[in-house]
Amino acid sequence: MRIGELARRTGASERALRYYEEQGLLSPARLPNGYRDYDERCAVTVRRIRILLSAGLGTAAVAEILPCVADDTVVLAGTCPELREGLAAERRRIDAAIGDLTAARDILDSLVGRPLYGPAAPAA
DNA sequence: ATTCTCACA
DNA sequence: TGTGAGCA
């Protein structure tokens, strides 16, 4: 199938599909006219790519994880032990980010409850 | 009608 | 990643 059909079937834009290829995530064959020729496997791969990307992973990480994914959408981390630490590290980064966001929200909450603007504050 | 590559008011 | 240009 060509890029248009794959885009419709996966929900990814044609632009994204070409980008995935540029990032080494997909390697579609080429028709004699230069058009990309995707097989069924690509449809499955694109769905996995989108899931991984939506998890906040970058294309570099996706490229490493992709070959470690079995026929289902389950990542067989056990098959690629090196990925375990990398994914664990990513998880820790997310935890840290959540902590930062929570702190930021708390500050915003305190501002709403005790505005710093409005009537001039008494001279310090 | 579709896809391709390249470039960015 | 979107969008548009200029081709094939």
CATH code for the domain in which residue A23 is found: 1.10.1660.10
- In this prediction, residue A48 carries a pLDDT of 92
Distance A71 CA to B2 C1' (A): 32
Structural domain including A60 reads: 3-113
How many domains does chain A divide into?
Answer: 1
Is A119 a member of any domain? no
Residues in A 79-98 whose C-beta is less than 7 A from nucleic strand B are none
- In this prediction, residue A87 carries a pLDDT of 85
Q: Is the pLDDT reported for residue A103 higher than 90?
A: yes
Name the pLDDT band for A47 (thresholds 50, 70, 90): very high
**What is the arithmetic mean of pLDDT over A81-103?**
88
**What is the arithmetic mean of pLDDT over A24-32?**
95
Is A123 a member of any domain? no
Distance A45 CA to B9 C1' (A): 36
Q: What is the pLDDT of residues A12-23, one digit of tens each?
A: 999 999 999 999
State the average pLDDT for chain A. Answer: 86
CA nearest to nucleotide B2 C1': residue: A4
Q: Is the pLDDT reported for residue A121 higher than 80?
A: no
How buried is residue A78: exposed, middle or buried, by Cβ count under 10 Å (0-12/13-18/19+)? exposed
Q: Is the pLDDT reported for residue A46 higher than 90?
A: yes
A31-51 per-residue burial string, b: 16 or more CB within 10 A, e: under 16 = eeeeebebeeebeebbebbbe
